[in-house]
Structure 1
Amino acid sequence: MSVVLNPIARTKLSSYIADIARANNVEDAKYTFAVQPVPEQKIIAAYQESADFLKQINVFPVDNAKGEKIGLQIGSSVAGTTDTRVKARTPVAVGTLDLLDEYDCTQTNYDVAYYWSLLNAWKHHPDFKAKLQAMVIKAIALDKLCIGFNGLYRAPTSDRIANPLLQDVKKGWLQKIRDTAPEQHYEGVDDGTGNLVIKVGADNEFKTVDGLVEFAVEEYIAEQHRESGLIAICGRGILSDKYLPLLNTIQDPTEQLAARTIYANKQLGTLQALHVPKFPAKTILITTPDNLSIYMQSGTLNRSIVEQPEWDRAVDFQSVNEDFVVEDYSKCVLLENIEVEA
């Protein structure tokens, strides 16, 4: 059944579209335009504000579609001495330049539809425009995280039904580690069926997840990075396996309060544990948040908003050239196929 856009909702939608056009110095937002630098920076900041983990990582604008990683990590020690009567001083570059792992920004579409029925339901909200903008920003921000943790490759045309975690939109951080730095990727040993598993439990090499995490830090993280604010990013199941026995027991009030305090300060080994939306199950990524980046090519954030009355909606077409980058592979380790036995 066809839905008519209410006059009040239409006035507010028209005002919303006019605001976007005005901010970008275009007459009509229905024609594709490149978002101007100032609004672009505001949009990037809004992405980071709408998803907690995006606040902690880097979202960098870059000029070129391809190039060397920005590499804001300190690659090695820099202190030293030189007898300049014999040789010249040799400065050490601050930042790592990995010519074998350049970034490659390709187009990602973030197209959203505003159905008349939704706009009609919101028509009396005094913050209609802010509400609409926040909904779009939140959806895009969460999808960026989803791609970062689940993206496997870029298909010419992605299939959201076959790949609900956006596996075919873009190669994400975890896949970059698997492909580019397999030495920083541990999947366990053959369980006898041809499958690799990291078994955790009393009868296994790793008695606890804490022990597994400490092993991974010592064996895989470069020595200069071990005291640099590493965290353990994990799926919710990992934390449940560790903390459920603590919480799922009848305790007196004092013990109950202590248990809640321990859970509130969740740790894996000596590292802060962090659950991030859309992160894969049975997986832990040990790194620092600032070792993960999203590069967005400046001038490629394109947008147009058009009405589609045949679908009872308006569509906000958005696209940007972007890439998901691990700055320093020696500062991370990816643990997969973790099985915690009771």
Structure 2
Amino acid sequence: MSVVLQPAARQLFNSYRADVARANGVESAKETFAVLPAPTQKIIQAYQQQADFLKLINIWPVDNAKGEKIALSIGTTIAGNTNTNLNPRQPTAVGSLDLVDEYDCTQTNYDVAMKWLLLNAWRHFPDFKKKLQEMVIRAIALDKLCIGFNGLFRAPTSDRAANPLLQDVKKGWLQKIREKAPEQHYKGEDVGGGVFKTLIGAAHEFKTVDALVEFGIEEYIAEQHRESGLVAICGRGILSDKYLPLLNIIQDPTEQIAARIIYANKQLGTLPAMYVPKFPAKTILITTPDNLSIYIQNGTFNRSIVDQPEWDRAVDFQSINEDYVVEDYTKCLLIENIELDD
């Protein structure tokens, strides 16, 4: 059944579209335009407000589609002495350039459909335009996290039905570690048939997930990074497995308070545990959030907002050239296939 966009909703939606056009110095947002730098920065900040983890990572503008990583971390010590009567002082570069793993910004489409049925329902809200903007921003922000943690490859045409976690949109941070730094990837032991498991339990090398995390820090993280604010990023299941036994018992009030305090200050080993939406199950990533970046190529953020009456909707077409980058592989460890063995 066809849906008609109500006059009040049409007026509000047209005003919203005119605001977008005005902010970017174009006559109409119905035709594709390049988003200006100032609105781009505001939109990036809006992404970060809608997904807290995006506040902790880097979102860097770059001029070229391909190039050397910014590589913020210092990969070595820098202090030293030089007898300048014999030799010149030799400064150490802050952030060694990784020529093996260059960034490569390719187009990602973030196209959001807005059904007229929804716009009609929202026409009664005094903050119609704000709600519409936040809906678009939140959808894109969460998709950026989903790609970063689940992206495996870039297909010419992605298939959301076959890859609901956006595995075929772009290579994310975890896949970059698997491919570019396999020495920083712990996938467990081969239990047969090419199946790997990182088993936790009394009968195994790692009795607890805390021991696994401490092993990972000592054996895989470069020494100069071990005191640099590492966190253990994980899915909710890892924390449930650890803390459910603590919470799932009858306790007196004092013990209940103590248990809640312990749970509120969740840790894995000696590291703060950080649950992030869209992070895969049975997986832990040890790193600092600022070791993860999204590079966006300047001048490639394009947008148009058009009606599609044949679908009873409007669509906000957005695209940008971007890449997901791990700045320093020696500052991270990806642990996968974690299973508790009772």
Q: TM-score range by the shorter chain?
A: over 0.9
The aligned residue for residue 275 of structure 1 is: 275
The aligned residue for residue 115 of structure 1 is: 115
Query: Aligned ranges for residues 59-70 of structure 1 at < 5 Å?
Result: 59-70=59-70
Q: How many Å separate the matches in 2 of 1:146 and 1:80?
A: 43
Report the alpha carbon displacement of residue 340 of structure 1 after superposing the two structures with TM.
1.0
Once the two structures are aligned, what percentage of the paired residues are identical? Answer: 76
Query: In structure 2, the residue corresponding to 1:183 is in which secondary structure?
Result: helix
Query: Aligned ranges for residues 55-134 of structure 1 at < 5 Å?
Result: 55-134=55-134
Report the alpha carbon displacement of residue 193 of structure 1 after superposing the two structures with TM.
4.1
The aligned residue for residue 179 of structure 2 is: 179
Query: In structure 2, the residue corresponding to 1:191 is in which secondary structure?
Result: strand
Q: How many Å separate the matches in 1 of 2:187 and 2:96?
A: 27
Over residues 271-321 of structure 1, what are the superposed CA-to-partner deviations in whole Å (9 max), with x where a residue is unaligned?
A: 000111110110000000000000011111100011011111111100000
The aligned residue for residue 309 of structure 2 is: 309
Contact 1:47 1:141 in 2 (8 A): yes
Over residues 200-223 of structure 1, what are the superposed CA-to-partner deviations in whole Å (9 max), with x where a residue is unaligned?
A: 001100000000000000000000
Contact 1:184 1:333 in 2 (8 A): yes
Report the alpha carbon displacement of residue 250 of structure 1 after superposing the two structures with TM.
0.6
Report the alpha carbon displacement of residue 47 of structure 1 after superposing the two structures with TM.
0.6
Q: What letter is aligned with 2:18?
A: A
Query: Aligned ranges for residues 311-330 of structure 1 at < 5 Å?
Result: 311-330=311-330
Over residues 166-222 of structure 1, what are the superposed CA-to-partner deviations in whole Å (9 max), with x where a residue is unaligned?
A: 000000000000000000001111123431111100110000000000000000000
- The aligned length equals 342
Report the alpha carbon displacement of residue 152 of structure 1 after superposing the two structures with TM.
0.2
Query: Aligned ranges for residues 160-309 of structure 1 at < 5 Å?
Result: 160-309=160-309
Query: In structure 1, the residue corresponding to 2:323 is in which secondary structure?
Result: strand
Q: How many Å separate the matches in 2 of 1:95 and 1:49?
A: 28
Q: What letter is aligned with 2:155?
A: A
Q: How many Å separate the matches in 2 of 1:71 and 1:28?
A: 39
Structure 1 residue runs of 4 or more that deviate by more than 2 Å after TM superposition: none
Query: In structure 2, the residue corresponding to 1:303 is in which secondary structure?
Result: strand
Q: What letter is aligned with 1:100?
A: V
The aligned residue for residue 11 of structure 1 is: 11
Query: In structure 2, the residue corresponding to 1:4 is in which secondary structure?
Result: coil
Q: How many Å separate the matches in 2 of 1:119 and 1:96?
A: 50
Over residues 3-26 of structure 1, what are the superposed CA-to-partner deviations in whole Å (9 max), with x where a residue is unaligned?
A: 010111100000000000000000
Query: In structure 2, the residue corresponding to 1:278 is in which secondary structure?
Result: coil
Contact 1:189 1:198 in 2 (8 A): yes
Contact 1:96 1:328 in 2 (8 A): no
Over residues 140-165 of structure 1, what are the superposed CA-to-partner deviations in whole Å (9 max), with x where a residue is unaligned?
A: 00000000000000000000000000
Q: How many Å separate the matches in 2 of 1:190 and 1:107?
A: 37
Q: Which runs of no fewer than 5 residues in structure 1 stay unpaired?
A: none
The answer to whether residue 165 in structure 2 is matched with residue 148 in structure 1 is no
- TM-score, normalization by structure 2: 0.99
Q: What letter is aligned with 1:212?
A: L
Query: In structure 2, the residue corresponding to 1:316 is in which secondary structure?
Result: strand
Q: How many Å separate the matches in 1 of 2:13 and 2:231?
A: 43
Q: Which runs of no fewer than 5 residues in structure 2 stay unpaired?
A: none
Alignment RMSD, CA only?
Answer: 0.7
- TM-score, normalization by structure 1: 0.99
Q: How many Å separate the matches in 2 of 1:310 and 1:198?
A: 51
The aligned residue for residue 23 of structure 2 is: 23
Q: How many Å separate the matches in 2 of 1:38 and 1:54?
A: 19
Q: What letter is aligned with 2:314?
A: A
Q: How many Å separate the matches in 2 of 1:195 and 1:117?
A: 48
